Amino acid sequence: MLSEIPVEFLDRLTQALAKQFGTDCEVLIHDLTVKDKDHTVKCIENGHVTHRKVGDGPSEVVLNALHNPQVEDEAGYCTVTEDGRLLRSSTIYIRNKSGQIEGILSINYDLSKLQVAQNILEGWMGGTSHKPLVPQKITTRVEDLLEELIERSIQIVGKPITMMNKEDKMRAIQYLEESGAFLITKSGDKVAECFGISKYTLYHYMDKTKT
């Protein structure tokens, strides 16, 4: 379906949505039909919000869609940029007639100015308490995303790699497999190097975790 939509229309769509919400709102479309999954950003407006541009790589949301085709649209969830700014994000999956995901429409609104205004108002009103948010991080390079997923897998195991046994490493690699990390180009080399194993051992662990 996405391949049937003219790029000119996709550009106009992203431009219109961005103008509707202003310069603090980034609107972009990921093309998941491209052969090189390291370069999925097809159209983008207000890319300064996450410092991305056309031709940049996928986010964690994209990897999740590639790995879990049954994923559903999500609106109004929180993410965070690499420099720590909080965003309000929405993700809409573009499917073909067979239900396969061919693209993603992503909207990310920078809440920085609203947070400043909120803090000022709370100061005047004596302060209020809020439940802390745990937002997803938006990366600008697939290399950074892979490193973050590896770090998260280590945190899940709860041990430094030097102290991990075979089962610990398999658990970490299972998380990476389920999160779509191995869809990133040459990710196997990086993961094998980080965990101090050969690529043969890595693929063996991946097969074991699947069964």
My answer on whether 151 and 112 are in the same domain is no
My answer on whether 98 and 183 are in the same domain is no
My answer on whether 162 and 205 are in the same domain is yes
Q: What is the pLDDT of residue 74?
A: 92
Q: Do the domain assignments include residue 169?
A: yes
Q: How far apart are CA 56 and CA 11, in angstroms?
A: 16
State the CATH number of the domain containing residue 54: 3.30.450.20
My answer on whether 111 and 169 are in the same domain is no
How many structural domains are present in the chain?
A: 2
pLDDT digits (tens, 9 = 90+) for 25-46: 999 999 999 988 889 999 999 9
My answer on whether 201 and 150 are in the same domain is yes
Average pLDDT for 155-159: 86
Q: What is the pLDDT of residue 126?
A: 66
My answer on whether 96 and 147 are in the same domain is no
Q: Which of 51-55, 145-149, 182-186 has the highest mean pLDDT?
A: 51-55
Contacts 24+ apart (CB under 8 A), 83-86: 85/110, 85/111, 85/112, 86/110, 86/111, 86/112, 86/115, 86/133, 86/135
Average pLDDT for 63-76: 89
**Of 101, 116, 131, which one is at a domain's C-terminal end?**
116
Q: Do the domain assignments include residue 123?
A: no
Q: How far is CA 102 from CA 31, 37, 72, 97, 108, in A?
A: 6, 12, 14, 10, 20
My answer on whether 23 and 110 are in the same domain is yes
Q: Do the domain assignments include residue 81?
A: yes
Q: Do the domain assignments include residue 124?
A: no
- Give the count of beta carbons closer than 10 Å to the beta carbon of residue 205: 23
**Of 116, 151, 171, which one is at a domain's C-terminal end?**
116
Q: Do the domain assignments include residue 71?
A: yes
Q: Tokens for 3?
A: 């391949």
Domain residues for the domain of 197 are 141-210
Q: Do the domain assignments include residue 11?
A: yes
